[in-house]
Every structure is written in C-alpha cells, then in structure tokens.
Amino acid sequence: MQQCILLFGFRCFDLNLLDMSILRNEIKNNLTYLKNEIEHIFEGGRDTVLSEVTVGQVYGGMRGLTALVCNTSYVDPYSGLHIGDFTVEDLSEKYPEEIFYLLCTGKLPESDFLEEFRKEMNERSGVPQYTWDVLKALPEDTHPMSMLSLGILTMEQESVFKRNYLKGIPKSDFWKYTFEDALNVIAKLPELAAGIYRIRFGDGTLIKRDPDLDWAGNLAMMLGLPNSGKELARLMRLYLVLHCDHEGGNVSAFTSRVVNSALSSLYYAISAGLNGLAGPLHGLANQNCLKFILEIRHRFGDLVSEEEIALYIKETLDSGKVIPGYGHAVLRVTDPRFTAFMKFGKAYCSENVCFQIAEKLFKVVPDILKTYKGGKVASPWPNVDAASGALLFKYGLNQFDFYTVLFGVSRILGFCAQNILAQGLGQPIIRPKSVTNKWVADQLMKNKVNH
C-alpha cells in the first residue's frame, strides 16, 4: 500500500511508491505498446486517407464518420461490445474493478488484484463534507444527474493533476497525475451516488461504506433499499460492467475526451461527460423502456399475452412513435449486453411481472419491426436498455431519474481510462475544422463544374 500524506488538506499519494503498483506498471507497458503501434501505423502511411465525409455527415452529427481512435473498446455490428480482446460474454461475471484494469491495460488482472484494489479504494474514499453541504443546499427537486455532475465539480480543487501542472511537470508525466485523479474519483463514486439517492429520495441520512465490500457491493448497500442484499449487489456489478465504455464517439465519452484534451482536469472532463449523458437521446433510454413496460402492464394487467403486446406495438408504431429499447446505431444483432441482463433475470427474478413483459417484448417486437412498412428498420433487435430498467425496478429502485446516475457511475470508468491513455500517448487538443453553409455550397458548385 502506498504511503499517504496530507498536503493543504488534500490526500496525496507518494508517486514513487505508487509507481510500484501492478496497475500503474501495466498502464506504462500498455502505453509503450500503443506508442510503438502508432509509430508503425505512421510509417505505413501517415497521410493515407481513411474516410470520406459526405455533406449529409457534416450536417448529420458526423454519424458514421471515421475520425477518432479509441483504444479502450470498440463495437462490432455483429458481436457487440469488445473491451480489449474480450466480449461481453467473457466479462459478464467480472467485477467493475477488473474492467477498469482491462480498459487501462488491455488485459485482465491477476487474481489478487481485487483485494488490493479494495484496499486502495478504502484509502482514497470519503466524499468531502463541503460536497455534501453543497448537495444538501440544492432545491429538493434537483435532478440526480445535476447533483452527480455538481458533486464531481465541487471536488475539482483536489485535482492532483492541476496542482502538479501548475508547479510544472513534463508532458510525459501527464498520464500519471490523471491516473491519480481517476483513482480518487472512482473511490468516492459509490458513496457519492448513494448519498445523492439518500438526499434526493430518502431522509438524507448517509450510510457509511463497508471496508470489507467491493466497489459495486458498497454502492448497493449504501443505497439503503429494502431489497438490498447479495442479489442487488450482483445486479449492480453486472450493470456497472455492461455500461462501462462504448467506444470514443458517443456523446458522453467524446465530450469528456474533448474537455480533457484542453488539459482541463479529469474532474471537469467527467462532469462534462455526465452532462452529455443526461440528455434524453443518450442516458435516459433505460427509464423510458421501463415506462413503456409499465404502460403495457397498466393497460393489460399482469397476465398480458404476446398477442396483446403485438397489438400495442403496432398501435405505437402507427402513431409515429418508436419502440423504446429496440434499434441501435451500430449493432445489427441482439445486443449481447441485453442477453447478459436477460440471463440474470432468468436466474434471479423470472417470476417478476416486468421482467416477463420484457421477455414477451423480445419475442414479439423484432418480427414486427422486420416487416413494418416494408422492413425499413435497420436494426429491429433489442439494445441494453430493453431489460436493465425492469431489473432495477424489481429490486426497489423505483426512482427513474436515478437510473442515469448508475449509468454515469459505470461510464466514468471509461472516461477515466480513455483520458489516462490519451494523456499517456500525448494526444493533442481536439479541434476539428468547421465550415459555413456558403463554403459547402461553393464546394458543391465546384464539384458540378468539374464533372
């Protein structure tokens, strides 16, 4: 365990001792590998054209434009999320702590890592009192995502990166201090998220962390739910694993990376990423899926049939609405993360009505979407959100606005890993070129003349 000292009221860790940690050394090794890989790629043709951009992409949010490199994860249209060389099926029984190691290093840790990481988190845990004072002073109806983003921001003054950058450090060391900030934030997340739930939806009493529990286990316990127990802890581990990262181009990860590329500290970058995640087109999908399931239950009762669900689906589509939880920007198969949630549901709550409706939707919806209006739906298959909300609801998390907080806690693992690696690789500030409507119109005119 590294030595801890207090400096100006902040908890600081001796970087020389921390350098001996397995995770830190493995990140070093991964950065060396990635740098060599990039050099080899550049030797093969630094000016080689990789992607062409259309007018539609310029105006359509750059969707489908290959313009980023993300070395933590990627999504294959037919096999889903990959982290390193591992698929969701490989990782669904792992702990979030192990996934953070994998995101940073490209490989899974040895068996003793979990115990060491638990000790590390205990050393670094403890949300400052001033953060609680700020959160408790907010209006009672403040959205939990606003509270999470603000909670992270209040702790920005504790950034190890910022403090050392102001002293003057070489660019090659930026990643080390970003790593320090990452560990400090991750250690406080279960307490912060659970505390937000207790303040916003409970009586405001905070539950102390248990130093003997793992990261997700502490989050589940500190929520103080009546159904809290081993099953909820298992679900929380699975949820935090499945949502941890999803390439670099989604709104939240990309926003976090852009902010950190300006050398704004990881606290600023995480808060910014969370603000993007809070949008209804990004992080609200699982609660919308659950609302849809509850609407079906309210209309047809607990014993709703597949035929009744099919009728409701067609009515929904005919009214111009989409089916929540079905379709994906990249995937062209059932999301393996959905499959992992369904496997959990069958093992632990197969008698739950909301889960049963989610099962029946899976049997009915894809076949309808395949043929609806000539089968124009590119992806009729369920994504991760089609099942997760029903499972959270079963275990007593009936405050829908909190679901995105859990998504954010998980996705912060990806924010941290992506920015650690980016700083270690010396990636520059992100600054794409923008143009005006006139420029685009002129280009189109030139193309017509030339052809």
Instruction: Note whether 267 and 414 are same-domain residues.
Output: yes
Burial class (CB in 10 A: 0-12, 13-18, 19+), 59: exposed
pLDDT tens per residue, range 183-200 = 999 999 999 999 999 999
Whether residue 5 is contained in a domain is answered as: no
Q: Which residues have C-beta within 8 Å of that of residue 54, sequence separation ≥ 6?
A: none
Whether residue 34 is contained in a domain is answered as: no
Catalytic status, residue 243: no
How many domains, the chain? 2
**Both ends of the chain: CA-CA distance in Å?**
68
Instruction: Note whether 139 and 244 are same-domain residues.
Output: yes
Q: Which of 13-22, 220-229, 272-281, 384-393 has the lowest mean pLDDT?
A: 13-22
Instruction: Note whether 234 and 291 are same-domain residues.
Output: no
Q: Is the dihedral of CA 359, 361, 367, 370 positive or negative?
A: negative
**Residue 120: pLDDT over 90:** yes
Q: Which residues have C-beta within 8 Å of that of residue 179, sequence separation ≥ 6?
A: 24, 27, 420
Q: Which of 20-34, 140-154, 178-192 has the lowest mean pLDDT?
A: 20-34
Instruction: Note whether 294 and 248 are same-domain residues.
Output: no
Cα separations (Å) of 181 from 121, 158, 159, 167, 411?
Answer: 12, 8, 6, 16, 16
297: containing domain = 285-400
Tally of residues, the chain: 451
Task: Report which DSSP code applies to 81.
Answer: E
Whether residue 53 is contained in a domain is answered as: no
Instruction: Determine the average pLDDT of the residues in 32-55.
Output: 94
Please name the residue that has the structure tokens 């996934």.
Answer: 99
Q: What CATH number does residue 259 fall under? A: 1.10.580.10
Catalytic status, residue 385: yes
**Residue 131: pLDDT over 70:** yes
- In angstroms, the CA 21 to CA 105 distance is 13
Give every strand in the sheet of 73-76, ordered side by side: 73-76, 80-83, 86-87
Q: Which residues have C-beta within 8 Å of that of residue 53, sequence separation ≥ 6?
A: 62, 65
Whether residue 40 is contained in a domain is answered as: no
Token couple for 340: 């992992």
Of 40, 385, 401, 451, the catalytic one is 385
Burial class (CB in 10 A: 0-12, 13-18, 19+), 376: exposed
pLDDT of residue 5: 42
Task: Report which DSSP code applies to 382.
Answer: B
Catalytic status, residue 328: yes
Whether residue 326 is contained in a domain is answered as: yes
Confidence band, pLDDT 50/70/90 cuts, at residue 142: very high
Of 298, 328, 401, 451, the catalytic one is 328
**Residue 11: pLDDT over 70:** no
Q: Which helix (H) or strand (E) holds 75?
A: strand 73-76
Instruction: Note whether 263 and 409 are same-domain residues.
Output: yes
Whether residue 49 is contained in a domain is answered as: no
**Residue 450: pLDDT over 90:** no
- In angstroms, the CA 314 to CA 319 distance is 9
pLDDT of residue 15: 45
- In angstroms, the CA 379 to CA 370 distance is 8
pLDDT tens per residue, range 225-268 = 987 789 999 999 999 999 999 999 999 999 999 999 999 999 99
Please name the residue that has the structure tokens 């990643």.
Answer: 175
Q: Which helix (H) or strand (E) holds 6?
A: strand 4-7
Q: Say which amino acid occupies 120.
A: E
Burial class (CB in 10 A: 0-12, 13-18, 19+), 134: middle
Instruction: Note whether 180 and 258 are same-domain residues.
Output: yes
Q: Give the count of beta carbons closer than 10 Å to the beta carbon of residue 181.
A: 26
Question: Minimal CA–CA distance to 401: which of 265, 317, 278?
Answer: 278
- In angstroms, the CA 389 to CA 50 distance is 39
Q: Which of 2-11, 58-67, 177-186, 438-447 has the lowest mean pLDDT?
A: 2-11
**Alpha carbon 161 to chain centroid, angstroms:** 23
Instruction: Note whether 299 and 256 are same-domain residues.
Output: no
Instruction: Note whether 329 and 384 are same-domain residues.
Output: yes
pLDDT of residue 7: 39
Token couple for 384: 């991760």
Of 76, 143, 282, 401, the catalytic one is 282
Instruction: Note whether 250 and 129 are same-domain residues.
Output: yes
Instruction: Note whether 149 and 259 are same-domain residues.
Output: yes
Confidence band, pLDDT 50/70/90 cuts, at residue 90: very high
Q: Which residues have C-beta within 8 Å of that of residue 300, sequence separation ≥ 6?
A: 308, 309, 312
Instruction: Note whether 99 and 196 are same-domain residues.
Output: yes
Whether residue 293 is contained in a domain is answered as: yes
pLDDT of residue 285: 86
Confidence band, pLDDT 50/70/90 cuts, at residue 9: very low
pLDDT of residue 16: 42
Q: Is the dihedral of CA 250, 253, 255, 257 positive or negative?
A: negative
- In angstroms, the CA 435 to CA 427 distance is 24
pLDDT of residue 13: 46
pLDDT tens per residue, range 164-176 = 999 999 999 999 9
Burial class (CB in 10 A: 0-12, 13-18, 19+), 444: exposed
- In angstroms, the CA 405 to CA 143 distance is 10
Instruction: Note whether 266 and 376 are same-domain residues.
Output: no
pLDDT of residue 147: 98
Q: What CATH number does residue 313 fall under? A: 1.10.230.10
Token couple for 235: 């679900």
Whether residue 82 is contained in a domain is answered as: yes
Quote the longest CA-to-CA distance of the chain. 72
pLDDT of residue 154: 98
